[in-house]
Amino acid sequence: MSSPAPTVPVRSGLAARLKLSTVRTFFAAGGRLAPRRTVNRAARLFATPFASSRARADAVRGDEDMQRGSLVVNGETIATYVWGDPARQPYALLVHGWSSFGLRFLPWVARLRALGYAVVTFDQPGHGHSTGQLCTLPDFIATVRAVGGRYGNASLAIAHSLGGAAVTLAQDESWRAEKLILIAPAVDMYAAVRRFFRFVRLGDHLREPFFDWLRRHTGVPVDELKVERKLRVLGQPGLVVHDLDDPDVPWAEGERYALHWSGARLLTTFGLGHRRVVDAPEVVEAALAFLRGEAVGQRVIGSPELAGI
């Protein structure tokens, strides 16, 4: 998942094409000659955030009202960023996606503050200014719950891509958000792994050993990470925003959120892809209208493509 899931970064230019070709050749040959070693290498690659997450986080300074902090989650130091006082004000939790960083949501902050929200965001393990090397969806979920545990139930959570899945799965008796806005949310690990396998040319015979590696590493079976189960019992209102031309997390995954979540509406955008949709002005304006109680997007009743779900 994120882009939809951890995947190999695609860079432009001849060097990037040659590197990708080398990776694909390695995995294609290794899958036949040394399948166990190849699965281990592939799974670690899948769970390794791109270095660009840290570089892009370093380039953003925040503003004078931002309070930097940290907390420790499963042995990793998580960088946090806070505006206002979440103990005294309703707060919005902003959750980034794969290989992104918390301050990616900076364009949202002033608008949310103007509505009276305190704002909290953070860098997931291995991302931005947080420590760590590997990160998976269960790590995303654990960090959301830990940050939520520090600041209490959120009035609002806004999340992108893998962060959308994490926020959905993090909802339980110990922490919840009263409203959710999910942008290009990824729906499950199965879809993410299928995309990863296609991209690096891993053979399908390695899929079960790959899932076994994830289970051993995280302690969580992949079947427990399906968001549909959680969506069916979510009671709070939500807005799902997904671009029809998203090349990383297909629009149909956002549609699945809206289909299974009785309190959600789906807003479809066009031409924003997977990343620009995060802070496109029209998306921010639509989200603010949703928070004001206006009807935004559509209620999804059904889709022929989802009949078998």
Of 152, 166, 145, residue with least CA distance to 97: 166
| 21 assigned to some structural domain | no
Q: Name the more confident of 108 and 226.
A: 108
pLDDT, tens digit, 9 for 90 and up, residues 142-153: 999 999 999 999
Instruction: Please give the pLDDT value at position 188.
Output: 78
Structure tokens at 83: 């505006």
How many Cα atoms are found within 13 Å in the side-chain-facing hemisphere of 126? 20
Domain that includes residue 151, residue range: 52-188+224-306
pLDDT at 239 over 70: yes
Of 104, 116, 234, 249, residue with least CA distance to 176: 234
| 229 assigned to some structural domain | yes
C-alpha Rg value of the chain to the nearest Å? 19
7 falls in which pLDDT band (50, 70, 90)? very low
pLDDT at 12 over 50: no
| 182 assigned to some structural domain | yes
25 falls in which pLDDT band (50, 70, 90)? confident
Of 290, 284, 291, residue with least CA distance to 269: 284
| Average pLDDT score over residue span 76-81 | 98
% of the chain at pLDDT higher than 70:
91
| 27 assigned to some structural domain | no
Domain count across the chain: 1
pTM exceeding 0.85: yes
| 19 assigned to some structural domain | no
% of the chain at pLDDT higher than 90:
76
Specify the CATH number for the domain of residue 297. 3.40.50.1820
Q: How far apart are CA 198 and CA 37, in angstroms?
A: 19
pLDDT at 303 over 60: no
35 falls in which pLDDT band (50, 70, 90)? confident
pLDDT at 14 over 80: no
Give the Cβ contact number of residue 279 at 10 Å. Answer: 16
Q: Name the more confident of 32 and 240.
A: 240
Q: Which residue has the tokens 């002005």?
A: 281
| 208 assigned to some structural domain | no
| 35 assigned to some structural domain | no
pLDDT, tens digit, 9 for 90 and up, residues 158-186: 999 999 999 999 999 899 999 999 999 99
- Enumerate residues 6+ apart whose C-beta is below 8 A from 43: 210, 213, 214, 217
| 72 assigned to some structural domain | yes
- On average, the pLDDT of the chain sits at 90
